[in-house]
C-alpha cells in the first residue's frame, strides 16, 4: 500500500464494489417487496371493482351456472383467479367451502386462504400471501354481505378471493439480480483497468516530478518540470518550475553576493593590514604616523558599516526583521533625522532645506524604519555629490498616500546605472561604500507596503519614499 498507484486505484474499485453489493443486497429485495405490495394493491382494487356482480347474484339467489359465470367474468376482467368461498359458522369458528372458482376447480389443493378467514372475522378486505403447490400466491379477500330471507340484518356468508401467482415477480427480480451481477462484474473489471491506468499515469508523473525535485535539491538547477497540463498535478508542476527558477536566481544572487561581499570585506582588511605593517616601521615621523592612524580608523569604520549593512540585509532577506506599524507623523521623523546630519552637512559644506506640511503628514508605518531609510537617503546624497551640494527634504500627502523625498543638486546618475541602483553592492561612482544602503532602504519600504523610487537627471536626483496613510 506504499504505492500511489494502489492507493488511488483500490479505493475507487472498493467504492464501486460496495455500490454493486448495495444494489444486489438492498435494492433487489426492496424491489421484490415493492412489486409484491403493488400486486396485492392491484388485487384489492380488482376485488372492489369486479365483485359487485357476484354480490348481486348472491343477493338474488341466482342458480349455480349464473354464479359461476359471474365469477369467471370477474376473473377475465381482473386477470386474476377468483375463488368464491362460503362461510359456515360453527362452534369452533368459521369453516370455508369453495362454492365457485374461475378455473372450474372446486378443490383448492394446498391453498388454505388464511386471508379469507381474516376477512370473515374482520368484515373488511384483507391482503396476504401463502405458499401453494406451484409457488407463492398473492391474495386479496373481500367479504360479501347478503341479506338472507326473513332476516333484517345482513351477515357475512361469502368471501371472494382474488389471487395471482408471484413466480413472475420472483423470476423478474432474479433476472435483475443476475443482470446486476453481470453488469457489476463488467463495470468492476473496467474500473480496475481504468483506475490502474489512470493511477499509473498519475504515479509516473509524480515520479518524474520527484526525480526533477531531487536534482534541484542536489543543486542541479537545469532540471525542468513537465508543465502544460491543466489539472492539479499540472499546476503543481508549474509551481515547482517557478520554484526552480527562483532557486536558480537565488543561487546566482547568493554566489554574486558572496563574491561581492568577500571583495568588499577583503579591501578594508588588506588596507588595515598594510597600514599596520607601515606603522610597525620605527623610522616613521609623527605626522605620517598620525595620517596612517587616521586612514586605519577610516578603514575600521568602513568595515564596521559594511558588517552592519550585511547583517541588516541578511535579516531582511530572512524575514527576521520585526516591524511595529503605527500611525506616525513622518514630518516629525524627517525633521529629527535632518537634525542628526548637522555636523555632516557642516563638514560637507552643504545646506539642507526642509519642506514639510504645516499640519503634519501622518502615515501607517514603523517610524524607526522610516528614520533608517531617511538616514540612508541623506547619507547617500552627501556621499555621492561634490562638497557644497545642497539637499532638499520634503514631505507631503496625496491620494491616500504619503511621500517623503530627498533631492540633491549633484551630477546625477547615469541611465545605465538607474536600472541597478537598488541592487546590493552596486555603486554608481568610485566613492567608497558598501553599496548596500539603497538595497536595505528599498527592502524596508516594501515591507511597510510602500515603495522607494529614484529619478535622476543632470543637476537633480530625487529618491522618494511612498507610504500608505
Q: What is the CATH number of the domain that holds 72?
A: 3.30.450.20
User: Does the pTM exceed 0.85?
Assistant: no
Residue indicated by cell numbers 444486489: 24
Does the residue 22 lie in any domain? Answer: no
Q: How many structural domains does the chain have?
A: 3
CATH number of the domain residue 423 falls in: 3.30.565.10
> Both 303 and 332 in a single domain?
no
> Both 55 and 139 in a single domain?
yes
Does the residue 222 lie in any domain? Answer: no
Using one digit for the tens of pLDDT, what is the confidence trace for 428-448?
665 555 567 888 888 888 888
> Both 327 and 461 in a single domain?
yes
pLDDT value at 1 more than 50 = no
Does the residue 16 lie in any domain? Answer: no
Mean pLDDT of the region 65-87: 91
Does the residue 272 lie in any domain? Answer: yes
What is the spatial distance between Cα 162 and Cα 169, in angstroms, rounded to a whole number? 17
Does the residue 304 lie in any domain? Answer: yes
Using one digit for the tens of pLDDT, what is the confidence trace for 328-349?
888 899 989 988 888 888 888 9
Is residue 313 very low, low, confident or very high in pLDDT (cuts 50, 70, 90)? Answer: low
C-alpha cell at 374: 531617511
Domain termination residue (choose one: 286, 317, 348): 317
What is the spatial distance between Cα 202 and Cα 225, in angstroms, rounded to a whole number? 14
What domain range includes position 117?
A: 51-165
Residue, of 106 and 416, whose pLDDT is higher: 416
CB atoms within 10 A of CB 291: 14
> Both 310 and 327 in a single domain?
no
Does the residue 430 lie in any domain? Answer: yes
Domain termination residue (choose one: 317, 338, 372): 317
> Both 356 and 461 in a single domain?
yes
Q: What is the pLDDT of residue 263?
A: 60
CB atoms within 10 A of CB 317: 16
Mean pLDDT of the region 233-257: 76
What is the spatial distance between Cα 275 and Cα 290, in angstroms, rounded to a whole number? 11
Q: What is the pLDDT of residue 106?
A: 47
Does the residue 312 lie in any domain? Answer: yes
Amino acid at each position: 500500500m506504499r504505492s500511489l498507484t494502489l492507493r488511488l486505484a483500490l479505493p475507487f474499485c472498493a467504492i464501486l464494489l460496495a455500490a454493486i453489493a448495495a444494489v444486489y443486497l438492498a435494492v433487489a429485495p426492496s424491489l421484490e417487496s415493492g412489486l409484491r405490495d403493488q400486486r396485492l394493491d392491484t388485487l384489492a382494487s380488482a376485488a372492489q371493482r369486479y365483485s359487485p356482480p357476484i354480490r348481486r347474484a348472491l343477493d338474488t339467489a341466482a342458480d349455480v351456472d349464473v354464479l359461476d359465470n359471474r365469477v369467471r367474468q370477474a376473473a377475465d376482467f381482473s386477470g386474476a383467479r377468483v375463488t368464491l368461498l362460503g362461510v359456515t359458522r360453527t362452534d369452533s369458528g368459521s369453516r370455508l367451502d369453495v362454492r365457485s372458482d374461475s378455473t372450474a376447480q372446486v378443490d383448492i389443493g394446498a391453498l388454505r386462504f388464511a386471508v379469507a378467514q381474516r376477512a370473515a372475522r374482520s368484515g373488511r378486505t384483507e391482503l396476504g400471501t401463502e405458499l401453494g403447490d406451484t409457488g407463492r400466491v398473492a391474495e386479496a379477500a373481500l367479504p360479501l354481505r347478503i341479506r338472507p330471507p326473513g332476516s333484517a340484518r345482513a351477515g357475512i356468508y361469502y368471501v371472494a378471493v382474488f389471487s395471482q401467482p408471484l413466480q413472475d415477480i420472483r423470476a423478474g427480480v432474479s433476472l435483475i439480480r443476475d443482470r446486476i451481477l453481470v453488469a457489476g462484474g463488467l463495470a468492476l473489471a473496467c474500473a480496475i483497468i481504468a483506475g490502474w491506468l489512470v493511477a499509473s499515469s498519475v504515479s509516473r508523473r509524480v515520479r518524474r516530478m520527484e526525480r526533477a525535485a531531487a536534482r534541484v535539491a542536489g543543486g542541479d538547477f537545469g532540471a525542468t518540470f513537465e508543465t502544460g497540463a491543466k489539472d492539479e498535478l499540472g499546476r503543481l508542476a508549474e509551481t515547482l518550475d517557478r520554484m526552480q527558477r527562483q532557486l536558480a536566481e537565488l543561487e546566482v544572487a547568493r554566489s554574486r553576493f558572496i563574491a561581492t561581499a568577500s571583495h568588499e570585506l577583503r579591501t578594508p582588511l588588506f588596507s588595515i593590514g598594510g597600514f599596520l605593517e607601515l606603522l610597525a616601521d620605527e623610522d616613521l615621523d609623527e605626522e605620517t604616523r598620525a595620517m596612517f592612524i587616521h586612514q586605519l580608523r577610516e578603514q575600521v569604520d568602513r568595515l564596521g558599516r559594511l558588517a552592519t549593512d550585511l547583517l541588516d540585509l541578511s535579516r531582511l532577506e530572512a524575514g527576521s526583521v520585526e516591524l511595529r506599524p503605527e500611525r506616525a507623523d513622518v514630518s516629525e521623523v524627517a525633521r529629527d533625522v535632518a537634525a542628526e546630519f548637522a555636523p555632516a552637512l557642516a563638514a560637507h559644506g552643504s545646506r539642507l532645506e526642509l519642506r514639510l506640511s504645516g499640519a503634519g503628514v501622518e502615515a501607517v508605518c514603523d517610524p524607526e524604519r522610516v528614520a533608517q531609510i531617511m538616514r540612508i537617503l541623506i547619507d547617500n546624497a552627501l556621499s555621492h555629490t561634490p562638497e557644497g551640494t545642497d539637499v532638499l527634504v520634503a514631505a507631503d500627502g496625496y491620494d491616500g498616500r504619503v511621500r517623503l523625498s530627498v533631492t540633491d543638486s549633484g551630477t546625477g546618475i547615469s541611465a545605465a546605472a538607474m536600472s541597478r541602483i537598488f541592487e546590493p553592492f552596486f555603486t554608481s561612482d568610485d566613492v567608497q561604500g558598501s553599496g548596500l544602503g539603497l538595497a536595505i532602504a528599498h527592502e524596508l519600504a516594501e515591507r511597510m507596503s510602500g515603495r522607494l523610487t529614484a529619478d535622476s537627471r543632470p543637476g537633480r536626483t530625487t529618491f522618494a519614499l511612498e507610504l500608505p496613510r
